[in-house]
Amino acid sequence: GEYEKAQAGMAEFMKSYGSTRAAQKARSLQAELSVIGKPVPTTWGIEKWFQGEDQVDLKSGKTTLLVFFEEWCPHCKREVPKLQQVYTDLKDEGLQVVALTRITKSATEEKVTAFLTETKVGYPVAKEDGTLSTAFSVSGIPAAAVIKGGKIVWRGHPSQLTEDKLKSWL
Contacts of 4 (CB under 8 A, 6+ apart): 37
Express each pLDDT in 64-123 by its tens digit.
999 999 999 999 999 999 999 999 999 999 999 999 999 999 999 999 999 999 999 999
Q: How far apart are CA 74 and CA 85, in angstroms?
A: 19
pLDDT exceeding 90 applies to what percent of the chain?
75
What's the pLDDT tens digit per position in 133-148?
999 999 999 999 999 9
**Which one is predicted more confidently, 25 or 89?**
89
State the pLDDT at residue 148. Answer: 96
